[in-house]
Amino acid sequence: MFVKLAGVCAGVLLYAALGYGVFLLAGRRDLPFFWAVLISQLLIGIVGSLMLSPELIAERARPKGKDKDPFGVLVLSALCLAQLVVAALDLGRWHMTDNVPFMLQCAAFVLQTLGWIAFYWSMFANKFFSSAIRIQEDRGQVVVSSGPYRYIRHPGYAFGSFAFITESIALGSWLSVLPALLIAAYLFYRTILEERMLHTRLAGYSEYSQRVRYRWIPGVW
């Protein structure tokens, strides 16, 4: 429980800092969709973290072993920050592409919320959902085929990409879709890396990939 509470406190502090930085950059606080997006993500993160096992939280915070993509977390963190920075500047100062229709923002807000809920569903279904690309022999990793893994092989990457792209539209800046697409591209790259590792090093994964044929989108890829 201590690990979970520490994670919740860290999340609250992180989002408080993000919110302060975003509104400082924008030069205004009357950005309702920014408030809605940040608060919804914080609440989903708190509830999701309380549902996850302490072992998975520890693995995501400090993974052991050799990471196939050692700078992945840093790259993704930088791109996530860039998405918020671009959106804040666009809506608060630049006004270059801050013309997203209100109803489209509302729909995108709902979709990004569902995307983040599905992302945590993937973590809840897979106790080996590490932040590192590695085989977790120390944790007895096996193939997971429950929850969303019954339909696609990499739901975390798929739902994460969907959530980031719809988040940019919900924020109200078309320009911020660019870093969101870069996030999706990087998650695509990580999917390829992970696939190669799992096929060669995780027992039963090749058979699983024959049963569940698609990585992100059923019927497409």
Q: Tens digits of per-residue pLDDT, 3-17? A: 566 666 766 788 888
Average pLDDT over residues 69-78: 95
| 191 token code pair | 């999917």
Q: Which of 16-25, 115-124, 162-171 is predicted least confidently?
A: 16-25
Q: Is residue 217 part of a domain?
A: no
| 201 token code pair | 């090093």
Q: Is residue 91 part of a domain?
A: yes
Say what the pLDDT of residue 6 is. Answer: 61
Alpha carbon of 164 to those of 82, 103, 146: distances in Å? 12, 18, 24
Count structural domains, the chain: 1
CA 172 to chain centre: 19
Q: Is residue 201 part of a domain?
A: yes
Q: Is residue 220 part of a domain?
A: no
Cβ neighbours, 10 Å, residue 134: 21
pLDDT band at 187 (very low <50, low <70, confident <90, very high): very high
Looking up residue 197, the CATH number of its domain turns out to be 1.20.120.1630
Q: Is residue 219 part of a domain?
A: no
Say what the pLDDT of residue 61 is. Answer: 86
pLDDT band at 50 (very low <50, low <70, confident <90, very high): confident
pLDDT, averaged across the chain? 93
Q: Is residue 218 part of a domain?
A: no
Say what the pLDDT of residue 5 is. Answer: 65
Residue from 78, 58, 27, 206 nearest 138 by CA: 58
Q: Is residue 98 part of a domain?
A: yes
Cβ neighbours, 10 Å, residue 188: 16
Identify the DSSP state of 81: H
> When comparing pLDDT for 24 and 19, which is higher?
24
Checking if the pLDDT of 147 tops 90, the result is yes
Checking if the pLDDT of 146 tops 90, the result is yes
pLDDT band at 2 (very low <50, low <70, confident <90, very high): low
